[in-house]
A and B are shown apart, each in its own frame.
Chain A
Amino acid sequence: MTKKPKEIVGQVFLNIFFIVLCFITLVPILYALSVSFSNQNGLLSSDFSFIPKDFTFANYKEVLFGEDIMTWFGNTILLAVATVGLSLTVAVPAAYCFSRRRFPGRKAIIKCLILLNSFPAILSMFAIYRLLRPLGLINNRLGLIIVYVGTMSVFSLWNTKGYFDTIPTALEESAQIDGANTFQIVIKIVLPLARPSIIVTALMVLIYVWNEYIYATTFMTGEKTYTLAAGLNSLQATEMQGSWPVFAAASIVVSLPVLIIFFLCQKYMTSGLTAGGVKG
């Protein structure tokens, strides 16, 4: 089948549109990129160009070898994996119950959760400190994981529940007749169908952990326990100290793993539903 010229023109336009859009979106990041490769110690310059004039890798070298970035990276990975895993482990069963079962208190809890989650968190820090201290969870990664999972669990629960609601129950019912138990149904039928929302939830949690630094710097002491975001924050160029190019290089380095994960995840973003699960 030959393509119609109209289609080709449309495609070209679509691609041009996205290229321009991506460029505009990335301007601030290209800016950081240019600063990170530049040899001058400044975030600003009077004649900026996207291609750095005084090209150097020194800033990246300093980030990768000068700081404890590998330790921080390890800490972050550990926290991120634990938090994402734990978030999904607690959210999926709860979301399934709230989506499929009818029990007293269900509606009330759902309504309340969203309202409670709207509480401005500026002052939560103190309360959470008071909570973790007697449990010996200050200066302890487990404490941080609990805080992260807890903070994200309203989102995780709501987001997965919302998606579960849209999955027709027909398949589950037939599986039930075939003798499958609830655990099997969730694992084999519901989760594959809900893949996009599971991935979105996981990514959201991951990015939260990746970028969170306030709890990480307040509840943990010592550079050895820093996460990437916390370490980056301590590198932050203030008026008195620090170097903008190194800081810019560090921000780029911190962002890249998330982008790679995102790129890899996209393949799995399509729901099993479109593959023809519940047509009949």
Chain B
Amino acid sequence: MKKKTKITLKSYLWSSPSLLLIGLIVVFPIFYTAYISMTNMNVYHWFDYTVIGFDNYFKALFMFDSGFLSALLATIIWTLVNMILQLVIAYVLATLLNNPKLKLRRFYKTLLMFPWAMPGYVSILLWKTGMFNTEFGLLNQLMTKLGLATYHWLSNDLSAFICCTIVNLWLALPFMIMIIDGAMQSIDKSYYEVAKLEGANWIQRAYYVTVPTIKPIIAPAVIITIFTTFKQFDVVYLLTQQAGSKTGSGFHTILTFAYENAFIASNYGYSSAISIIIFILLIVFSATFKLKEEGDR
């Protein structure tokens, strides 16, 4: 009994720097936001705000009309599509990159990491003006060369969704490839030898050896990516919804929707209430997908 207490204390002691930092930078802002959501902090009461209770929440509920629900649905579809594509593509590429006969592996890997090394907003800008622009974009220059009609890539909901997905994949795949690749490095090669001896083919080896082994290793990164995808703002906002260069797409994730319908009002109390509501939705979303089981291991 005494030993157990000692272990507990020691563990907390060793974890304390990490937990303290998380407490300060991750947890504190949530509670602070919750507090602000109860106040009337806005342009007219920026420094002299007072607690007003749940008024902001009542106001926020009015925002949750059909627009919000369809944005929520779009966000869920967006998350699913992106995660499935990301995992499948990254898995296939990592497998190919791990082919022992591929001599130039390090070179290819480094080139494939390039999108990750560039600041995100730069990349998104390059895609928007360089690729998708209707007058000068490479895609439309290519279409013209092929004798096809030019296309407004970002101006209807579906094609904007596809373009955003492509850009998001482009930005996120390097990380996913690296995670899966790193995990594959840890697989004991003897498993494969055994599997080969037993006559397992490529798919069987992947199914029985690779996937089960890497699953626990990549799980944390994948879960974190799911949340990042869910709360994706930059890609969708900068590509299609930025003030002054909107493209006509109606595709919104809940964050871009909340931004356009609430955050721009510079009412911190109200925006905070909406953030807290979105946060609660995220928790509900993750509970539905039973992500919490991960912690039980």
Chain A residues with CB under 8 Å of chain B are 7, 10-11, 14-15, 17-18, 21-22, 25-29, 31-32, 43-48, 89-91, 93-94, 96-98, 101-107, 109-111, 113-124, 126-128, 130-131, 146-147, 149-151, 153-159, 161-163, 165-166, 196-197, 199-200, 203-204, 207, 210-211, 213, 229, 232-233, 251, 254-256, 258-259, 262-263, 266-267, 269-271, 273-274, 279
B30 — which chain A residues lie within 8 A by C-beta? 116, 119
11 residue pairs bridging A and B, Cβ less than 8 Å apart: A18-B104, A29-B118, A124-B29, A124-B33, A126-B32, A128-B25, A150-B26, A159-B220, A162-B221, A196-B183, A258-B117
- B21 partner, pick from A120, A149, A251, beta carbons under 8 A: A149
Selected from B15, B33, B138, the residue in CB contact (under 8 A) with A98 is B15
Extra contacts, 16 of them, besides A149-B25, A256-B117 (Cβ < 8 A), are: A25-B112, A28-B170, A90-B21, A93-B17, A97-B15, A102-B7, A107-B296, A118-B231, A119-B275, A123-B275, A128-B28, A153-B22, A163-B186, A166-B213, A204-B175, A274-B189
Give 4 closest A-B pairs by Cβ, nearest first: A150-B25, A127-B29, A127-B32, A94-B18
B138 lies within 8 A of A48 (CB): yes
B275–A120 CB distance below 8 A:
yes
B19, B182, B271, B286: most-surrounded residue (chain A CB, <10 A): B182
B112 touches A274 (CB 8 A): no
Q: Which chain B residues border A203 with CB–CB below 8 Å?
A: 178
Contact with A along B257-283 (1 / 0, CB 8 A): 001000100001001100100110011
Per a CB cutoff under 8 Å, which of B178, B185, B217, B255 touches A270? B185
A262 to B32 alpha-carbon distance, docked (Å): 38
Q: Which residues of B contact A (CB under 8 A)?
A: 4, 7-8, 10-12, 14-15, 17-19, 21-22, 24-30, 32-33, 36, 93, 96-97, 99, 101-102, 104, 106, 108-123, 126-127, 129-131, 133, 135-136, 138, 141, 170, 175, 178-179, 181-183, 185-190, 213, 216-221, 223-224, 227, 230-231, 233, 255, 259, 263, 268, 271-272, 275, 278-279, 282-283, 286, 291-292, 294-297
- Whether the Cβ atoms of B224 and A117 lie closer than 8 Å is yes
Q: Determine if A115 and B17 form an interchain contact, defined as CB atoms under 8 angstroms apart.
A: no
B39, chain A: closest CB distance, angstroms: 12
Complex contacts, B231 vs chain A, CB 8 Å = 118, 120
Q: In the bound complex, how far is the Cα of B13 from the Cα of A97, in angstroms? A: 10
A96 lies within 8 A of B14 (CB): yes
Of the residues B7, B17, B179, B286, contact of A94 by C-beta under 8 Å: B17
Inter-chain CA distance A121–B141, complex, in Å, is 38
Bound form: Cα–Cα A162–B259 in Å: 35
| A159 & B115 in contact (Cβ 8 Å cutoff) | no
CB distance from B127 to the nearest CB of A (A): 6
Give the contacting residue for B122; candidates A21, A93, A251; CB below 8 A: A251
CB distance from B272 to the nearest CB of A (A): 6
Across the interface, do B33 and A21 meet the contact criterion of CB distance under 8 Å? Answer: no
Known: A147-B25, A166-B216. A211 touches B131 (CB 8 A): no
Task: Decide: B126 and A229 in contact? CB cutoff 8 A.
Answer: no
